[in-house]
Structure 1
Amino acid sequence: MIQRVQTIFLFLIVVAMGVALANPLWEKAGSQPSEMAYMTALQYSQQETVPQQAGVPVQQSSTTVITSLWYLGLLIGLVALSSIYAIFQYRNRLTQTALCAVNALMLTAIMGIILYRTLYAGKEFGNSADQGSFLLGFYAIIAALVFNALANRFIRRDEKLVRGSDRLR
């Protein structure tokens, strides 16, 4: 039935993916106060101060470099859509289990992309010893991983209960 506990966890995955899409994932301060790098689900941007040249009047100029991360947003959206689809597959627990496995793979890919962009590509910006700080969107993805594992556990428990009751008939 749709009011099972795994439905709540699958719905919480959808909520967590919405939070990850709406909030920044990571930020890092540069060596200057006006320098900043941050990453959302759809883009990675760096704002840097351009060094002053000799003989040029004192002006602060900055450049912003924006890199699109559309594939990260697409993966987050696919996780949310597959979770919604899994909610309505309550009659077929094997399909729900398969969808949870696909969600786990996509969430792992999302975490890999984020960690690569922050720990390796983001290391070039500012102080290389500083990793930056992870924000609410990143923790929402971790919460989605936990909710996915819990949903899968309760789906398997329901399947075991149904198979056990079929044996007794």
Structure 2
Amino acid sequence: MIQRVQTIFLFLIAVAMGVALSNPLWEKAGLKSPEMASLTALQYSQQENVSPQAGVPVQIASSTSVTSVWYLGLLMGLVALSSLYAIFQYRNRLTQSALCAVNALMLTAIMGIVLYRTLYFGKAYGNPADQGSFLLGFYAIIAALVCNALANRFIRRDEKLVRGSDRLR
């Protein structure tokens, strides 16, 4: 049935991935005022000051480098689609459980990519002692991990209940 508890958690995974896709994951301020590094689901960008040349306004004397991380957004989209598909696989709990396992792997990969990008590339930017700040998108990924674990737990509980009732027949 579609109105089971794991349906709510699977839907919350899709919502959390939507939040992570639409909000920044991490940002770090540089040593000077306009310097900033940020990570979203689709790009990693750094804005740096360039020493101004004679006759060049200060607004133009900053450079921005943008690196595409499209694979991060793709993984987030796949997790959302997989969890929405798992909602409608309520008749086959083993398929739901397998989809939750795949979601767990993809969510772990997402966390690994985000932490690698922020802790490795972010440390080299600006003040090395400052790690930057994680934003709403990052916490949405953590919420998706928790919801995935809870959904998997309730799916296994339902499967155990059904197997136990089959033995009584």
Q: Same fold (TM over 0.5)?
A: yes
- Offset, 1:104: 0.2
Matched, 1:106 2:106: yes
Aligned length: 167
Write the distance in 2 (CA, Å) between the matches of 1:4 and 1:105: 24
- Offset, 1:124: 1.2
- Offset, 1:52: 3.3
- Offset, 1:57: 3.7
Write the distance in 2 (CA, Å) between the matches of 1:9 and 1:137: 18
Aligned to 1:28, the other structure's residue is in SS state: strand
Match of 1:153 in 2: 153
TM-score of the superposed pair, with normalisation by structure 2: 0.97
Matched, 1:9 2:9: yes
Write the distance in 1 (CA, Å) between the matches of 2:110 and 2:88: 24
- Offset, 1:157: 0.2
- Offset, 1:59: 3.0
Matched, 1:118 2:118: yes
Match of 1:20 in 2: 20
Write the distance in 2 (CA, Å) between the matches of 1:134 and 1:95: 34
Matched, 1:82 2:64: no
Aligned to 2:66, the other structure's residue is in SS state: strand
Which residue identity is paired with 2:44?
Y
Q: Which runs of 5+ in 1 are unaligned?
A: none
Write the distance in 2 (CA, Å) between the matches of 1:67 and 1:23: 17
Name the % identity.
Answer: 83
Farther off after superposition, 121-130 or 6-15: 121-130
Match of 2:43 in 1: 43
Aligned to 1:44, the other structure's residue is in SS state: strand
Which residue identity is paired with 1:86?
A
Q: Which whole-Å deviations, capped at 9, do the CAs of 1:12-47 have from their partners, x for residues lacking one?
A: 000000000000000000011000010100000011
Write the distance in 2 (CA, Å) between the matches of 1:40 and 1:58: 31
Which residue identity is paired with 2:138?
F
Match of 1:59 in 2: 57
Write the distance in 2 (CA, Å) between the matches of 1:23 and 1:9: 21
Which residue identity is paired with 1:161?
L
Q: RMSD over aligned Cα, in angstroms?
A: 0.9
Write the distance in 1 (CA, Å) between the matches of 2:33 and 2:167: 68
- Offset, 1:51: 1.6
